[in-house]
Amino acid sequence: MDQEDQEVRGYLLMDQPNWGPNGQAVYERTYRRIKENGQPEQWLDTVTRVVDGNLGLVDEKHHEKDERDKLIDLFYNFKALPAGRHLWMSGVPGRQFLFNCHHAGWGEDITTHFSFTFDQLMQGGGVGANYSNEFIDKYEPVKHGVDVHIVCDPDHPDYYELLNMGVLSTEYSYEWGGATRIDDSREGWSEALATLLGAFWNCVEVLVLDVSLVRQKGAKIKTFGGTAAGPMPLAKLLTQTSKLLSDRVGTKISSLDAMLIDHWIGECVVSGNVRRSARMSIKNWADEDIFDFINCKENSGEHWSTNISIEIDDDFFKALKRGNTHAESVYKTAVRGMLTNGEPGFYNRSLAEVGEVNPVPSTNPCGEICLEEWENCNLGHVNLDFFYDDFEGAVEAHRLMTRYLLRATFGDVPNDKQREVLDRNRRIGVGHFGFHGWLVKQGVRFSDSHRNRYVRKTLRDFYNTVRKEARRYAFQLRIPEPIKVTTVAPTGTISKLAGRTEGIHPILFKYYINRVRFSTVDPGQILQLEEFEREGYDIEDDLYTPNTKVVSFVAKNQLLDEVTALGYDADYLVESAAEIPLADMLAVQAMYQEYYADNAVSFTVNVNPMLDQVMAVQKQFQEGVPAWEIVMPSPSDARVEEIMNTMVHYLPQLKGTTLMVDGSRPQSPYEALTKEQYEMYQLVMVGDGIDEDCAKGACPIR
Number of C-beta neighbours around residue 478 at 10 A: 7
- The span from the first CA to the last CA of the chain, in angstroms, equals 27
Catalytic residue among 152, 268, 296, 366: 366
d(CA 663, CA 671): 6
SS3 content of the chain, % helix, strand, coil (to 5): 45, 15, 45
> 368 an active-site residue?
yes
Contact 317, 651 (CB under 8 A): yes
Q: Which residues, listed in sequence order, are joined to residue 672 by a DSSP beta bridge?
A: 512
Q: Compute φ and ψ for 126, nearest 5 degrees.
A: -105, 155
Contact 619, 630 (CB under 8 A): no
| Three-class secondary structure of residue 447 per DSSP | helix
d(CA 216, CA 235): 13
DSSP secondary structure string for all residues of 151-215: E--TTSTTHHHHHHTT-B-SS--TT-TT-EEPPSSHHHHHHHHHHHHHHHHTT-SEEEEE-TTSP
Contact 152, 209 (CB under 8 A): no
Number of C-beta neighbours around residue 611 at 10 A: 8
Nearby residues of 178 by Cβ (< 8 Å), 6 or more positions away: 206, 208
Catalytic residue among 311, 368, 375, 671: 368
Residue 81 buriedness (CB in 10 A; 0-12 / 13-18 / 19+): buried
Contact 600, 363 (CB under 8 A): yes
H-only helix segments in 56-132:
67-76, 84-89, 111-122
d(CA 577, CA 582): 9
d(CA 291, CA 294): 5
Contact 525, 227 (CB under 8 A): no
Q: Of 618, 623, 609, which is closest to residue 663 (Cα–Cα)?
A: 609
Q: Compute φ and ψ for 639, nearest 5 degrees.
A: -65, -40
Between the alpha carbon of residue 214 and those of residues 153, 185, 233, 549, the distances in Å are: 11, 8, 11, 28
Nearby residues of 603 by Cβ (< 8 Å), 6 or more positions away: 488, 503, 504, 505, 585, 589, 592, 656, 657, 658
Between the alpha carbon of residue 388 and those of residues 17, 380, 393, 436, 522, the distances in Å are: 19, 19, 10, 10, 38
Number of residues in the chain: 702
d(CA 285, CA 349): 11
Q: Of 270, 99, 252, 234, which is closest to residue 158 (Cα–Cα)?
A: 234
d(CA 172, CA 45): 51
> 694 an active-site residue?
no
Compute the radius of gyration of the chain from its Cα atoms: 25
d(CA 375, CA 19): 34
| Three-class secondary structure of residue 304 per DSSP | coil
What residues are labeled active site? 366, 368
